[in-house]
Amino acid sequence: MVSESSFALTGRRVLELADHSGAYCGKLMADMGADVIKIEPPGGEPGRNIPPYLEGLKGPQRSFHFLYSNTSKRGITLDVELPEGRRLLRQLALSADILLSTQAPGELARLGIDHASLAKEKPTMVVTSITGFGLTGPHAQWKSNDLVAGAMGGAMYVTGEPDDPPVIVAGEQNTLMACTCAAASSLIALLHAHQSGRGQEVDISAQETTLAISHISGVGKWLDDGIIPRREGTGLTASVPSGAYDCQDGRIYLMVNRPAHWKALAEWIHEETGNQEVLDPLFEGPSSRRIEYRDLLDIFISDLTGLHTVQEMFHEGQRRHIAFTPFYSLSQVVQDPQLRSRGYFESMDHPETGPLEYPGAPFRPERTPWAIHRPAPIIGEHNRAVYLDELNLTEVKFKKLQAQGVI
């Protein structure tokens, strides 16, 4: 059992006024030991209704998305549109080190908890906003979601078959990138506040993070090689050859990023198929030199992968330092020997779902532990602890607020 006092963010509080587009940011900090208090409207937030559901049955505690994105947090309910709700909201915000928000630009000021307002009473306050296009600029008031971020950030432009419309990257990766950037930026601002006594406003644009993080759709290839990335099916313009290839019992994915990787792959193809053409120096060098030969190289690679099973290609590719990875179904992922041997999955009991296994640490801090401390909260699970024990409301006041629908 790891002591909670040893976590990197032990003793720090984060107030999360965020929908599902910011939940992963709060999770990252909660699993590192921060006391993350998630605010939901009475009755629960819409994120509890995102499918898929445990055993296919819809319910506020059965959304896999919610269960995973809200581990280690405490949960309270509060109607921030009511005057008394706003007073409590401000009191909660001033008790935190970081306020995490996905409110539209201007909404925090309307609620009385924008950075400028809070900093007057608490100069070290960090306020982090995750929005579609940032808090300022010509698109600040535009509506957004993961689909829009992928389209406006360029990721969709390079995803899909060349002759088909663009498609979204699976798994809300644009949202996850924004949340990860927001968590890192929040901790940088928190460190600055600790050192200087001055907090900051952290402004995260989902469009900007998609543009900045995804090398496959950014300007990097144009700046480096004068190439505009385009849709290449399962392959990438930035990595040639790359893509999914058929084996005897499934498919395997390949990426060739460096000249040495191509030479190792070409030699392997030559050894097993006798192909002499694949060794032509014409194909050597950076990926940009091989772009016009992509279709031909795909044939050469398929000749090799067709001789082997997925696992044979994977392990021999690893031995030769070539980036191959199997295409796994979800059931295969959870049984993956490497993930199992590394103890990647974390088991956590939930009062309504029972024990479940969760994806584990997205990173492993060198000096401090990482762990899921508690399951995602039930609606209003920590109302009494927060309002009575920490904000010192009386029992009479607490029940009155319940009756009024404030909490």
Q: Give the model's pLDDT for residue 81.
A: 97
Q: Are residues 39 and 182 in the same domain?
A: yes
Tokens coding 208: 């900007």
Confidence (pLDDT) at 4: 61
Q: How many residues does the chain have?
A: 407
Residues 24 and 138 grouped into a single domain: yes
Q: 102: which 2 tokens?
A: 């996905």
When divided into structural domains, the chain yields a total of 2
Whole domain around residue 175: which residue ranges?
4-214+341-403
Q: Tell me, what CATH number does 282's domain have?
A: 3.30.1540
**pLDDT, tens only, 88-147:** 999 999 999 999 999 999 999 999 999 999 999 999 999 999 999 999 999 999 999 999
pLDDT attached to residue 216: 64
Angle, CA of 179, 185 and 191, to the nearest 5°: 140
Single residue among 326, 361, 390 that ends a domain in this structure: 326
Is 246 in contact with 302 (CB distance < 8 Å)?
A: yes
Q: Is position 238 within any domain? A: yes
| 321 and 345 fall within a common domain | no
Q: Decide if 222 is inside a domain.
A: no
Q: Which of 326, 353, 378 is the last residue of a domain?
A: 326
Tokens for 219? 């300007």
What pLDDT score was predicted for residue 261?
A: 96
174 is a domain residue: yes
The verdict on 318 and 359 lying in the same domain is: no
CA triple 179-18-334, angle to 5 deg: 50
Residues 300 and 379 in one domain: no
C-alpha to C-alpha distance for 24 and 28, rounded to whole angstroms: 6
Residue 270 pLDDT: 98
pLDDT in tens, 289-321: 999 999 999 999 999 999 999 999 999 999 999
Q: Are residues 317 and 178 in the same domain?
A: no
Q: Which helix (H) or strand (E) holds 211?
A: helix 206-213
Within-domain flag for 16: yes
Among 267, 291, 326, residue at a domain's last position: 326
Which residues in the chain land under pLDDT 70? Answer: 1-4, 215-218
- Its pTM surpasses 0.85: yes
- According to the model, what pLDDT value does residue 225 have? 74
**19 in a domain, yes or no?**
yes
Q: Which pLDDT belongs to residue 217? A: 65
Please tell me the predicted confidence (pLDDT) of residue 230: 85
pLDDT on residue 3 = 61
Which CATH number is 387's domain given? 3.40.50.10540
Q: Long-range contacts for 383-391 (Cβ within 8 Å, ≥24 apart)?
A: 383/76, 383/77, 383/407, 385/74, 386/37, 386/74, 386/76, 386/92, 387/76, 387/88, 390/95, 391/88, 391/91, 391/92, 391/95
Long-range contacts of 138-143 (CB under 8 A, 24+ apart): 139/207, 140/105, 141/104, 141/105
C-alpha 236/C-alpha 266 separation (Å) is 19
